[in-house]
Amino acid sequence: MGLNCLLLTGDATLLEAIRTGFSATSVELEMRTDAASAIELSARRHLDGFVIDCDGVERAMDLLVQVRGSRSNKTSVVVAIVNGTTSVSTAVDAGANFVLGKPVLDKQLQSLLDVALPRMEREHRRYFRHKVDLPVELLCYAGETFAGKLINVSAGGLALTHFGPAAVDGVVTVQFGLPSAEPQTFQAKAAVVWNDASAMGLRFLWIEPGCRLCFEAWLDSLEAQLRFRESVQTISPSVSAPS
């Protein structure tokens, strides 16, 4: 699954400039022309980035405030476009990572994307959950150890089915073997963010430095495998049975 970005604007000139600038990237743009539908979309799903026409759409600043106050998008990359009404400092104070003034020039946008895209990629990795099936072990504060099985994992956390009591909460130590030619154990401190009778979700608080690079390499391989499967599904011709 590639990067995704929401563009809020009713300005045809800005729309064309953003489309052109993003055309050479792997980012999928989703367009909205009114703040209400943009807010509704951002409230129900994660997006890696936002481009918000702060002065060209009524209540556009409400979207920026909503994004920074939401659980799923508060660390997403936000580019604010201003045109004299909203100041740069106001946009930054509201949570914008980058600010451009109209008219948006190609060179300005390209320079911004050179910096913003790697941040969007990090955000994507932090949030996007890859499906996995690996044994995992939890060590609770009281010293109890419970076994489980990973359901999915991202740079920011994981979900697992567990075979211990459903009342596990607080901060735990999580460890599992990283699939690799040279096996290594991943170990991290994590907070339990949700829990039910058979599964739980964890958010990483700290990752053991010695295994971080191998963990990131594993996530890269999972992302590459996913993109390959998607590309094969996209380009594979339909096969007709012989007559």
- Nearest-angstrom CA–CA distance, 137 and 144: 10
Q: Which of 127, 156, 180 is the last residue of a domain?
A: 127
- Structural domain of 219: 130-233
The verdict on 189 and 87 lying in the same domain is no
- Nearest-angstrom CA–CA distance, 195 and 144: 17
Q: pLDDT 10s per residue in the chain (243 long)?
A: 578 999 999 999 999 999 999 998 989 999 999 999 999 999 888 899 999 999 999 999 999 999 999 877 888 999 999 999 999 999 999 999 999 999 999 999 999 999 999 999 888 877 777 889 999 999 988 788 888 999 999 888 999 997 665 567 889 999 999 987 777 899 999 999 888 878 888 989 999 999 999 998 898 888 778 766 766 765 555 444 444
161: in domain: yes
179: in domain: yes
- Is the pTM here over 0.85, yes or no? no
CATH number at residue 151: 2.40.10.220
The verdict on 91 and 10 lying in the same domain is yes
- Nearest-angstrom CA–CA distance, 104 and 56: 13
Cα 243–chain centre separation: 47
> Can you tell me which residue has the tokens 């953003």?
18
Domain tally for the chain?
Answer: 2
DSSP 97-125: SEEEESSPPHHHHHHHHHHHHHHHHHHHH
Is residue 158 within 8 A of residue 188, CB to CB? The reply is no
The verdict on 23 and 110 lying in the same domain is yes
Question: Dihedrals φ, ψ of 48, to 5°?
Answer: -75, -25
242: in domain: no
218: in domain: yes
Q: Which of 111, 127, 143 is the last residue of a domain?
A: 127
Please, which residues have CB within 8 angstroms of residue 13's CB and are 6 or more apart in sequence?
103
